[in-house]
Amino acid sequence: MHRHHNGLKTAALIGVLWAVLLALGALIGSGMNSVTPIWIMALVGVGVGTTAYGYWNSDKIAIRAMRAYPVTEAEAPQLYQIVRELSAKAQQPMPRNYVSPTLAPNAFATGRNPQNAAVCCTEGTLRLLDTRELRGVRGHELMHVYNRDILTSSVAAAVAGVITSVGQMLLFFGGDRRNGNPLAMFAMSLLAPFAASLIQMAISRTREFDADEDGSALTGDPLSLASALRKIEQGVQMAPLPPDQRLVNASHLMIANPFSGGGMAKLFSTHPPMKDRIGRLERMAGRPLRPGDAQIAP
């Protein structure tokens, strides 16, 4: 669906993640009496198992975090009409529809494949966006499902999580300092998780740009998504979600960063800067988004 070799770029980034993990394991092995420490293998096993569970149940985890409830076509005819039209246009299965009872505007898609997927938006989003903008958001979320982004983010999160855990254990336990380089081990324990976070962030940001572009191609209306993104960003600033850990774990799935904050927190966000996303959509449309297109309704 994308035409910019993004699958290859994602595979390369995940490959770098695995290279960092192997380098970390080799460094630990050189400082211990065992080349492959049992506890490292056990940690990798736990990480893979946890990720497999999260991937298999990704739809349930995210929906529970947002306290979302399913809606029927009689309850939300506009949502169903939009999703049915776009999924048919993409020649893909129609996902389940959920609504989250929060005024903070946002939306997300989840599910391990198109046959087991769900799309969700908040009540704040339904109040904030008009039909055209809601269609743009739905197109974005559907393309996350059809591009298999949940698998990509799950694998990236798995490897990054293992690297971070091994780095933390190395920081506290250190290994055999008679045979290893304590300074190198200390540096690696800090730099490996940092590198893993940067790569995971790069993967997530690539996926968001892809879903913006592919979703706009699906709807044929990039400015509707641009207008929706601007409204959602302003709405989040007015009513951010609380930094609850369950919401933090699901935040990378959302169309916009649901939390307030700037500085370093914004730098390490898994979401690209909104102005960059809007700028790309404007270039797709061939004209800028007018100020009146993104006024927040009272």
Question: Could you tell me the pTM of the whole model?
Answer: 0.76
Query: What's the confidence (pLDDT) of residue 193?
Result: 63
Tell me how many domains the chain contains.
1
Residue 1 lies in a domain: no
Residue 75: which residues within 8 A CB-CB, separation 6 or more? none
Residue 29 lies in a domain: yes
Query: What's the confidence (pLDDT) of residue 294?
Result: 47
Backbone conformation region of residue 91, classed left if phi is above 0, alpha if psi is from -120 to 50, else beta: left
Residue 297 lies in a domain: no
Residue 35 lies in a domain: yes
Catalytically annotated residue among 75, 85, 141, 282: 141
Query: What's the confidence (pLDDT) of residue 17?
Result: 64
Residue 14 lies in a domain: yes
Residue 138 lies in a domain: yes
Query: What's the confidence (pLDDT) of residue 56?
Result: 77
260 and 237 in contact (C-beta within 8 Å)? yes
Q: What is the dihedral of CA 262, 105, 218, 82, to 10 degrees?
A: 180
Residue 293 lies in a domain: no
Structure tokens at 281: 């959509």
Q: Residue 269 phi/psi, 5° resolution?
A: -65, 145
Residue 251 lies in a domain: yes
| Residuewise pLDDT in 10s, the chain (298 residues) | 554 455 565 566 667 766 766 666 666 666 555 545 565 666 566 666 766 776 677 678 789 889 999 999 999 999 999 999 999 999 999 999 999 999 999 999 988 788 988 999 999 999 999 999 999 999 999 999 998 887 676 666 666 666 666 666 666 655 544 455 565 556 556 666 666 566 666 667 888 999 999 999 999 999 999 999 999 999 998 988 887 767 877 787 889 988 876 544 454 567 888 999 999 999 999 988 876 654 443 3
Residue 63: which residues within 8 A CB-CB, separation 6 or more? 98, 110, 118, 120
Is 141 one of the catalytic residues? yes
Angle at which helix 182-219 crosses helix 6-30, to 10 degrees, equals 170
Range of the domain at 201: 6-287
CA distances (Å), origin 4, targets 25, 206, 210, 214, 245: 34, 11, 9, 11, 34
